[in-house]
Structure 1
Amino acid sequence: MTAENLIVPDVADVLEETVPTDGDVYVVNPSRETIVALVATLEDLDSPPVVRLLAPERPLKDVMDDFLVASTAADLIEAGTLFLRVLDDRPVNSLVVTDDAVVSLVTASDATAGLSTADEAFVAETVAFYDEMWETAGEFTLRTPPLSRVRSTLATEISEEAQTDFDAVLDSVSSASGDGDDLDEVTISLLVAARNHELLYDISKWGEDVGLASKATFSRTKTQLEDQGLLDTEKVPIDVGRPRLRLLLGDERLQDAAADELVDVALDLVEN
């Protein structure tokens, strides 16, 4: 990694320059933007380092509410690339600490600076300090399943067509937290299932098994989407028991939309 001071447009540029391709790294007290950028940076590296992220619980929870970030982070955690622990005593600075340098991240209105030192004694002391802090920090439990598992099981348990549509939807959005400006992973899954005329039972069982959400959450979300006119259902008789519900897109504009247009059309319908 570089030990030179950097002034660049955003924090992602600093991380690209400061995060090495091997060894161990501490990222300490990052902002929400930095956590998002770090996950994206690690995802793009062919041979990423091992990153130990120490952050207060609130920003970690806020960032991991976004399915895109959380599911990618879960893949990195499963690969042994990323580890998350909770920082109780918040330091003044946001830092990237490697075996060779300490970088302080400073963000202004239109730029981010990475202020670096490679002083061997200071770097060694800083690494030792955070080694000790890491040992006593509590683990942050991420409940979102890895995106790779979500995709592969969707293909095998539902259909390859559904997985293709799911990928197209995720590629078309910048976030998936369900905060009103976007749609969450359960809503996206239901819309994709409806586009492929899948059964509510099948998609909700898959979602619960893979760890997206409970069957009850899928059912509640289905009802909300019906009330908004985004989903419709038809009964499908089975040999024993109550008929099951086939999911259908409820509005003609959704029915005519390509997979990568589903979110924009759905949000437009809800707003209007």
Structure 2
Amino acid sequence: MPTGPAFPLLPEPLPLEQFSGPLLVDPGPRLLGAVVEAYREAAPTLVAPTVSDLASGDGEAAPSPDLPTLSVFAGESAIDAATEGFRSAARLAALLDAGVVDLRVIDAPQPNPVLAGVRTGFALVEGKVNDKAGTAGWYRVGDDGSLRERYASRFADAEPYRLRTPSRRRVYEGFATRCDESVAAAVVRTLDAPAAAASGGDDAAHSTGGGDGPGPESTRIRAYAAGAREGVLDRTLRRACEDAGLGSPSTFTRVKRLLREAELIETVSESQPVGRPRDRLAARGALAAAETPAETVAAVRGVGD
């Protein structure tokens, strides 16, 4: 019985392991998201490891050899829309890091999305499963064994897409290495925390992608605030943010300024036996009072608006 990811075809999903050299051409955001979700269901500790997985080492850093690889030739706007929030972007980043998905940007939109293998290929038309939820799926149209060859050379000439959002594993390991595992766990849990209902269910000011997690600016603010809440040295925190793939040290100098202007952090100078004093971060106000990741998110809401 197939246990790997299944392409969301109607009326029955198609196990990708049955496909030879699959190439997905010009998927829209919904289809790209559905494919990433299929991989998450098949390999959750690779694509979306929990904090417990990461802390215990149970999260797989490398994919199973049985996990099929997929080439994706997508429009940049579709990629941006499908990865607007941290959760969706981090899942795709995990697949890119592991070499399970090879993502490249197509130069022009196609009449329909295409799924093509070495021996068969077909266009895709979106439909819905006949259920109360109205679950999305895609119908196959036609059967053309030459489809993959039509796109193969264009795909080979295209540059790999560099996703700016890191995977959950990279975030955790960046903070665990520079700081410690408790700080890494605090950061990842803060990035996971949903926005409170008072904000309308998202962080619209920071382009969160709805309920799919914080957008890039909100992600940076949450991560730095979580580190400050843990009392990390300022320079160490900025380097950890860089190692985690969240931005450059100068980017986090700006984030630090925003949080200081909001009176949510301060620095405490620590003298050293040799050399200059070190600046340790300390939370203030609502951030100091925050006891949970959700309260940390609530404390920094509106920062940078």
In the TM superposition, 1:8-157 aligns within 5 A as: 17-18=13-14, 20-21=16-17, 23-46=20-43, 47-64=66-83, 66-98=85-117, 102=122, 104-106=124-126, 112-117=136-141, 119=143, 122=144, 124-157=145-178
Which is richer in helix? 1
The alpha-carbon distance between structure 1 residues 180 and 167, as it changes in their structure 2 partners (threshold 3 A), is: same
The alpha-carbon distance between structure 1 residues 25 and 230, as it changes in their structure 2 partners (threshold 3 A), is: farther
Q: Report how far residue 56 of structure 1 moved.
A: 1.7
Task: Please tell me whether the aligned partners of residues 191 and 223 of structure 2 are also in contact (alpha carbons under 8 angstroms).
Answer: no
The one-letter code matched in structure 1 to 2:136 is T
Q: Report how far residue 218 of structure 1 moved.
A: 0.7
The alpha-carbon distance between structure 1 residues 33 and 236, as it changes in their structure 2 partners (threshold 3 A), is: farther
The alpha-carbon distance between structure 1 residues 185 and 244, as it changes in their structure 2 partners (threshold 3 A), is: farther
The one-letter code matched in structure 1 to 2:139 is L
Task: Please tell me whether the aligned partners of residues 237 and 243 of structure 1 are also in contact (alpha carbons under 8 angstroms).
Answer: yes
Query: 1:127-175 CA deviation, whole Å, 9 max, x = no partner?
Result: 2223233223332223444431321231232011111212322332498
Greater mean alpha carbon deviation, residues 175-184 or residues 193-202: 175-184
Structure 1 length-normalised TM: 0.78
Measured in 2, the distance between the counterparts of 1:219 and 1:271 equals: 13
Measured in 2, the distance between the counterparts of 1:259 and 1:72 equals: 21
In structure 2, the residue corresponding to 1:139 is in which secondary structure? coil
In structure 2, the residue corresponding to 1:24 is in which secondary structure? coil
In structure 2, the residue corresponding to 1:72 is in which secondary structure? helix
In structure 1, the residue corresponding to 2:232 is in which secondary structure? coil
Task: Please tell me whether the aligned partners of residues 236 and 246 of structure 1 are also in contact (alpha carbons under 8 angstroms).
Answer: yes
Measured in 1, the distance between the counterparts of 2:239 and 2:167 equals: 17
Structure 1 residue aligned with 2:298 = 264
Number of matched pairs: 259
Greater mean alpha carbon deviation, residues 56-65 or residues 214-223: 56-65
Q: Which of residues 181, 184, 189 is equivalent to 2:223?
A: 189
Measured in 1, the distance between the counterparts of 2:21 and 2:205 equals: 34
Q: Which runs of 5+ in 1 are unaligned?
A: 7-13
Q: Which runs of 5+ in 2 are unaligned?
A: 1-5, 44-65, 129-133, 196-201, 209-213
Structure 2 residue aligned with 1:207 = 241
Measured in 2, the distance between the counterparts of 1:177 and 1:230 equals: 21
In structure 2, the residue corresponding to 1:185 is in which secondary structure? helix
In the TM superposition, 1:163-182 aligns within 5 A as: 163-173=184-194, 179=206, 182=214
Task: Please tell me whether the aligned partners of residues 43 and 76 of structure 1 are also in contact (alpha carbons under 8 angstroms).
Answer: no
Structure 2 length-normalised TM: 0.71
The one-letter code matched in structure 1 to 2:180 is S
Task: Please tell me whether the aligned partners of residues 19 and 25 of structure 1 are also in contact (alpha carbons under 8 angstroms).
Answer: no
The one-letter code matched in structure 1 to 2:138 is G
**Could you tell me the percent identity over the aligned residues?**
22
- Residue 227 (structure 1) aligned with residue 247 (structure 2): no
